[in-house]
Amino acid sequence: MLELRDIALRWDHRPLLDGVNLRVGAGQTVALLGASGSGKSTLLKLVAGIESPERGSVLFDGEDITRTPPHRRGFALMFQDFALFPHLDVQDNVAFGLVEQGVPRAAARERARDMLQRFGLGALVRSRVTTLSGGEQQRVALARALITRPRALLLDEPFSALDAVLREQLRSEFRERIAEAGIAAILVTHDEAEARAMAQHGWALEGGMLHPLW
C-alpha cells in the first residue's frame, strides 16, 4: 500500500499542494486529473522522491520513505518525455534497469527478451528504438519500467504523444499489464475517459487538495 499523508509544498510562496492524502493498494490504479499547473506532475515527483514535501509523509506498507532517495524506493516512473535510450536496441533498453541492479548482461538480456515476448514485441528485440512507432516505443517503455519488478508505477501522461486510436488500444493493454504485475499505480492524465478505463479510483487535484471523482 502506497500512502500519502497530509503532503504540502509551496511554489513561488504559494501553496501548490496543501494537505494531499491518498492511498493506493497493490494491484490498484488510481488516476489523478486536474488543470494544467495544478501540481499533478509535482505530486508524482514527490512520490518518486525527486521532490521533497515541506510537510507530510510518503509511506509504503507502513514504512516512512519520505526521505528515502529515489533509487531506494523500488518505484518505476514512466513520463511522457522519459525517452528510451536511442543508442541502445530494444532488448538493451529493457535490460537496462536489471544491469544497473547488477544482473549480468546475458541474464538481463534473456529476461528482457522473455518480457518482450510476453508483450508481443518479440520481433523487435534487436531493433533500434528510433525505428519504432510511438505506440511500440511506449510498450517498450512499460516493459522497461516493469522488468525490475517495482513496488509502484508512476505514469505521467504516458500516451499524450499518441493518436486517439492508439491511445485507446494501449489503455486496456497497460491496464492488464499493471494488474498482472500486482503493483500500486498512479496515472496522471488529462483524458478522463482514459482515466476511467484504466483506474479504479479517480481524483481531481484542485486548490492543492485531492477531491474524489469516482
Ligand X SMILES: Nc1ncnc2c1ncn2[C@@H]1O[C@H](COP(=O)(O)OP(=O)(O)OP(=O)(O)O)[C@@H](O)[C@H]1O
Residues within the interface to Mg ion (CB under 5 A): 41
- Three-state secondary structure along 23-51? EECCCCEEEEECCCCCCHHHHHHHHHCCC
Among 39, 49, 56, 202, binds ligand X (CB under 6 A): 39
The size of the interface with ligand X (CB under 6 A), counted in residues, is 11
Among 37, 120, 134, 182, binds ligand X (CB under 6 A): 37
Nearer to ligand X, 6 or 180 (CB): 6
- Nearest approach in angstroms of CB 156 to ligand X is 7
List the interface residues with ligand X, window 49-108 (CB under 6 A). Answer: 51
How distant, in Å, are the alpha carbons of 17, 35, 154, 179 from that of 190?
A: 18, 8, 15, 22
- Nearest approach in angstroms of CB 30 to Mg ion is 16
Which residue's Cβ has the minimum distance to Mg ion?
Answer: 41
Among 33-41, 54-62, 90-98, 133-141, which window interacts with ligand X (CB under 6 A)?
A: 33-41
Distance between CA atoms of residues 124 and 89, nearest Å: 9
- Nearest approach in angstroms of CB 158 to Mg ion is 12
Among 37-45, 87-95, 97-105, 125-133, which window interacts with ligand X (CB under 6 A)?
A: 37-45
CA 130, chain centre distance (Å) = 22
Among 35-43, 103-111, 131-139, 193-201, which window interacts with ligand X (CB under 6 A)?
A: 35-43
Nearer to ligand X, 43 or 146 (CB): 43
138 makes contact with ligand X (CB under 6 A):
no
42 makes contact with ligand X (CB under 6 A):
yes
From the list Mg ion, ligand X, none, pick the one residue 34 interacts with, judged by a Cβ distance below 5 to 8 Å according to partner type. Answer: ligand X
- Sites of contact with ligand X (CB under 6 A): 11, 16, 34, 36-42, 51
